[in-house]
Amino acid sequence: MAVHAHPDDESSKGAATMARYVAEGVEVLVVTCTGGERGSILNPAMDRPEVRENIGKVRNEEMARAREILGVEQRWLGFVDSGFPEGDPLPPLPEGCFALEPLESAAERLVAAVREFRPHVILTYDENGGYPHPDHVKTHEVSVEAFEAAGDPDRYPGVGGEPWQPLKLYYHMTFNTARIEALDEAMKAAGLESPYGDWRERAKDRPEKWEVTTRVPCGEFFETRDRALIAHATQIDPDGFWFAVPLDVQREAWPTEDYHLARSLVDTELPEDDLFAGIREKVSV
């Protein structure tokens, strides 16, 4: 189960990993907490009045195309996008948005999804949300709450389904420093303009809190990831940043997607190359 804040997050974080596991026969569910109703239109070609006026419907349709490309199941939790407040001082969040939901009421729907789908592994963001979007931070909070509560029959007793305890919880480490440096150096070595120079400079002032514990080889599914990204046409410019590094350069320099193992109820040896390390042995006994 991959828990994400908005439609398009599943395609920019962990998409090739999910496509790989789907190809191996693993059941994968993407849980999307909000409808992305307040997301900006980042692709100039889609910035049209009819799109702006129906952004929720359009993003729903984009998600449908992306999940078909990835081969995953997908469920909406039904919360309303909080938007990304900017300014000094920051404006208040809009009433009724996901980020303002009390933790228990926000987590209840995810606990229900965990008890129904019964995942062994949950993917989510770290406590900073990967970046400090209020919906990403709330997604982290509800994911940790659901991981810890879904297996306890005394918690969320009004939620349907038998208690179910997932075995591992991971944080996405998509933009870790080692990966950015490797891709930057690979682009320069190939005589190409790298999009990561500024990133490396900014990273010097932001030490990483979480180490990468798990690198999942999935380079052969990068093209699938990119097709899923492009399906989110309001958010992804096909001529933009996401596609600046050729796939062959990516596969040579960094053919994995990376994670931090935040919780584990099974024995596993670090570093890992499989999200199900320690689980396959347990469930096959």
The pLDDT, as a whole number, for residue 67 is 98
Q: Which CATH class is domain 2-174+211-284?
A: alpha beta
The pLDDT, as a whole number, for residue 280 is 83
The pLDDT, as a whole number, for residue 284 is 60
3-state secondary structure the chain: CEEECCCCHHHHCCHHHHHHHHHCCCCCEEEEEECCCCCCCCCHHHCCHHHHHCHHHHHHHHHHHHHHHHCCEEEEEEECCCCCCCCCCCCCCCCCCHHHCCHHHHHHHHHHHHHHHCCCEEEECCCCCCCCCHHHHHHHHHHHHHHHHCCCCCCCCCCCCCCCCCCEEEEECCCCHHHHHHHHHHHHHCCCCCCCHHHHHHHCCCCCCCCCCEEEECHHHHHHHHHHHHHCCCCCCCCCHHHCCCHHHHHHHCCEEEEEEEEECCCCCCCECCCCCCHHHHHHC
Please report, in range form, the residues annotated as the binding site for Zn(2+): 6, 9, 136
User: Would the pLDDT of 28 be above 50?
Assistant: yes
pLDDT-derived band at 154 (thresholds 50, 70, 90) equals: very high
Q: What is the pTM of this model?
A: 0.95
Region 40-51: what's the mean pLDDT?
Answer: 94
Region 238-243: what's the mean pLDDT?
Answer: 92
Pairing outcome for strands 73-79 and 29-34: parallel
Residues 67-126 pLDDT 10s: 999 999 999 999 999 999 888 888 999 999 999 999 999 999 999 999 999 999 999 999
The pLDDT, as a whole number, for residue 86 is 87
User: Would the pLDDT of 160 be above 90?
Assistant: no
Break the chain into its structural domains and give their ranges: 2-174+211-284
The pLDDT, as a whole number, for residue 285 is 46
User: Would the pLDDT of 199 be above 90?
Assistant: no
Region 173-182: what's the mean pLDDT?
Answer: 94
Please report, in range form, the residues annotated as the binding site: 6, 9, 136
The pLDDT, as a whole number, for residue 232 is 98
% of the chain beyond a pLDDT of 70: 99
The pLDDT, as a whole number, for residue 87 is 84
% of the chain beyond a pLDDT of 90: 87
Mean pLDDT of the chain: 95
